């Protein structure tokens, strides 16, 4: 009996050793040479695999970083400048800096502002609804409210506000990965430069209809009156197809345009209340009140 056990042990260990030796040489022969820096770079990346950089995952981005001589076209929006400088340090190159950005929704057509003119009872995704028609209001440019953007957001930075029917961006969580920009069939999201204290001024509308028609379909639509364009001291505003657009790079956040806008389609977020002297006329007073409640609401939503 003991002999059987002995033979078994000897033969099995012999077999194991031979296999180990063969495998060792095979592994040496067919070794895939990989730049060890790829692992280091991948370690420095956030590891969210969100695709915000344009690559399928963090490892692909790391490979591209190691391969390229400069960081042209390579930027991790989630990690931002900190991550990119860490990557640059590993690779011994100069870091590329970009201004941090944040997503904003260029539509403010809440249920109150945009009367519903028909009912949609089809599949509740924005992609399918927009393939079928302009939407359940008369504005064919505005938010459909089925939350395709919320679905794709990996960072918990978007949530549907069910009172307004619009998604709300949480500035703190938003990494500007651009997933919502790709998901929105109406192209309503824009990645804007982050200003101090997350202050923002932007035209929350994409309606390209003529003024009268736009106003009829939505009370907070941009009617293309050019008042903001004329008042802007920094030439940050451009008018195109009956629609104003504020260039975040040029905008100095002076808030002159906000007061000027007759339909309140320009939104200001994150500012302290205006001083008394600005409220000299009744009209601007009204304007300001509505603005304040507006931004207040958005901040409240974020806290929730």
Partner 1 sequence: MLKTFTIGGIHPSENKLTGHEHIVNLPVPDAVTIPLSMHLGVPAKAVVEKGETIRTGQLIAKGNGFVSSHIHSSVSGKVLKIDKAIDASGYKHDSIFIQVEGDEWDETIDRSDELNHRCSLSQKDIIQKINAAGIVGMGGATFPSHVKLSLPRGKKARFLIINGVECEPFLTSDHALMLEKGEELMVGISILGKALNAEKTLVGIENNKPDAIENLKKIAGKYKNISIHALKVKYPQGGEKQLIQALIHREVPSGGLPVDVGTVVFNVGTAYAVYEAVQKNKPLFERIVTVTGKSLKKPSNFRVRIGTAVNELIEAAGGMPQDTGKIINGGPMMGKALSSTFVPVTKGTSGILILNDREARRKAVEPCIRCAKCVSVCPMGMEPYLLMALSEKQMFERLESDRVMDCIECGSCSYICPANRPLLDYIRLGKSSVGKIIRTRKK
Chain residues that interact with partner 1, rule: CB under 8 A: 117-118, 121-123, 127-128, 131-134, 136, 140, 209
**Residue with Cβ nearer partner 1 (120 or 271):** 120
**Cβ distance to partner 1 smaller for residue 119 or 280:** 119
**In the complex, what is the shortest distance from the CB of residue 142 to partner 1, in angstroms, rounded to a whole number?**
13
**Closest distance to partner 1 from the beta carbon of 112 (Å):** 21
When the beta carbons of 128 and 231 are compared against partner 1, the nearer one is 128
In the complex, what is the shortest distance from the CB of residue 236 to partner 1, in angstroms, rounded to a whole number?
Answer: 29
Give me the least distance between CB of 141 and partner 1, in Å please. 10
Buried-state track 83-101, b at ≥16 Cβ within 10 A, e below 16: bbbbbbebbeeeebeeeeb
If the CB atoms of residues 132 and 254 are measured against partner 1, the closer one turns out to be: 132
Residue closer to partner 1, measured from CB, 91 or 243 = 243
> Please, what is the minimum distance in Å from the beta carbon of residue 211 to partner 1?
13
What is the Cα–Cα distance from 232 to 252, expressed in whole angstroms? 10
Closer of 102 and 180 to partner 1 (Cβ): 180
Q: How far is the CB of 52 from partner 1 (least distance, A)?
A: 16
Q: Quick one: tokens of 109?
A: 């057509």
The neighbour count for residue 244, using CB atoms within 10 Å, is 24
């Amino acid at each position: 009996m003991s002999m059987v056990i002995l033979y078994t042990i000897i033969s099995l260990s012999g077999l194991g050793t031979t296999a180990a030796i063969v495998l060792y040489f095979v592994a040496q022969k067919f070794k895939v040479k990989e730049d060890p820096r790829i692992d280091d770079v991948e370690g420095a990346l956030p590891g969210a695999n969100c695709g915000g950089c344009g690559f399928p995952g963090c490892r692909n981005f790391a490979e591209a970083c190691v391969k390229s001589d400069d960081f042209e076209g390579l930027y991790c929006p989630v990690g931002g400048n900190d991550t990119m400088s860490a990557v640059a340090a590993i690779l011994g190159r100069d870091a590329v800096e970009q201004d941090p950005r944040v997503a904003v929704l260029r539509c403010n057509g809440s249920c109150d502002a945009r009367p519903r003119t028909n009912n949609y009872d089809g599949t509740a995704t924005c992609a399918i609804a927009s393939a079928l028609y302009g939407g359940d209001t008369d504005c064919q440019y505005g938010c459909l409210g089925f939350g395709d953007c919320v679905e794709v957001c990996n960072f918990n930075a978007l949530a549907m506000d069910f009172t307004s029917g619009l998604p709300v961006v949480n500035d703190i969580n938003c990494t500007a990965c651009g997933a919502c920009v790709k998901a929105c069939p109406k192209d309503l999201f824009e990645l804007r430069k982050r200003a101090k204290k997350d202050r923002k001024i932007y035209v929350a509308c994409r309606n390209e209809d003529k003024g009268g028609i736009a106003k009829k379909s939505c009370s907070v639509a941009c009617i293309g009156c050019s008042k903001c364009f004329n008042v802007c001291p920094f030439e940050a505003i451009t008018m195109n197809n009956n629609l104003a657009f504020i260039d975040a790079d040029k905008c100095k956040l002076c808030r002159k345009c906000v007061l000027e806008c007759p339909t309140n389609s320009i939104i200001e977020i994150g500012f302290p209340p205006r001083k008394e002297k600005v409220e000299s006329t009744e009209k601007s007073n009204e304007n300001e009140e509505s603005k304040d409640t507006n931004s207040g609401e958005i901040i409240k939503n974020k806290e929730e």
